[in-house]
Amino acid sequence: MPTGDRAEKREWEDSLRRPIRAGTQTRREQPDMSTQQTPDLSAALEAIARQPPPPRMPPASLGILVRTSPLLRRLVPTRLVVHRAERQGQVLWEESPGERKQAISIIESIVAGTSRAEEVEKLARQYLIESQIDTALSWQPWSAQMDADSSALLGDIRSQQRGMLLSACHLGAFYRSMHAFPAASRSHYTVAGPWLFAPPSHDYWGRRLALWRKNALGHLMLSRGSFPLLRELLARGESVYLFFDLPGRHETRFLGKPAMLADGSARLAFEADALIVPLRARRAGHRVWVDIGTPLDPREFSGVEALHDALAALHERWILENPAAMADPNSFGWDDGAGPHAWIRP
């Protein structure tokens, strides 16, 4: 792997561990979707609708500018970018014992206790390749597609005119998911932690942060205190995008082990009488597809726990189809609490 790419990867990993500023969450901490009451829902929703434009790409060193220039990346065919990243991942597996060891540890935290527990080494090699491809894809123009079956299912769901809680995990190029939705359905709300709203720093992380803000579709909502706002939006028939695989207080059997997961999706669905629409991002060659799963209707479940468990089982099936495409759970909120025996809330 070229020296510049190794340095870029190290800088990205370091940025995940660096606090935003004193007294706030680190970039790896989970959103706090608390149920505290908001005094004026209408005013809060109006403030979200009036959010400022995304920040400009910040300046950085020449080497970082070349590697992260959206203009230059548009000139390079995505097929070639993916092919190069695949080769880099193969080289890392063969020549870097440290990277190989880390990939094995990550895969063990995902598949231990599941039907794929005996495939750790094979999956770890593929994980290293997928992580290189995903980093490369994140700098290419964001796009995604939806096949005819998923498009038809989405149309049927929208015809019910109920709130849609779009439920995803950190699987594949999840950040491109909303780009597969029809233009007419892009008025949706995405919940994000404070890290996404921080001013971009003048480095690799800052430019990545600005890129994500620029490519985000719909309205971004700060996670802290968002529960009553999300409930109101869903009750009005809006769509809300939430991640399922974040730490919380609900002990769940997930990926063959006990995991302390957040159950906000199930609680919101019951309180707002909204449908939970599972989705996943799936790479096929140099293209990203978004699959829509059969919606879960809270009216058909006995309570929050039953709905939460059903959603956990569905996401688990998708993850185990391609565990190597899942992000390291300790990089998106578990803070070294996700291991082969249990996922423990930080």
| Tokens 């063959």 sit on residue | 256
Per-residue pLDDT of the chain (346 residues; tens, 9 = 90+): 433 444 444 444 444 433 332 223 333 334 445 544 445 777 887 888 788 889 999 999 999 999 999 899 999 999 999 999 999 999 999 999 999 999 999 999 999 999 999 999 999 999 999 999 999 999 999 999 999 999 999 999 999 999 999 999 999 999 999 999 986 555 789 998 888 999 999 999 999 999 999 999 889 998 888 899 999 999 999 999 999 999 999 999 999 999 999 999 999 999 999 999 999 999 999 999 999 999 999 999 999 999 999 999 999 999 999 999 999 999 999 999 999 999 999 8
Q: How far apart are CA 241 and CA 24, in angstroms?
A: 23
Give the tokens for residue 335: 């803070």
Q: Return the half-sphere exposure (C-beta side, CA atoms, 13 A cut-off) of residue 151.
A: 12
Angle at 307 (CA atoms; ends 297, 235), nearest 5 degrees: 50
This prediction has a pTM of 0.88
By the 10 Å C-beta count (0-12 exposed, 13-18 middle, 19+ buried), 196 is classed as middle
The reported pLDDT for the residue numbered 9 is 44
The reported pLDDT for the residue numbered 186 is 53
| Tokens 């593929």 sit on residue | 126
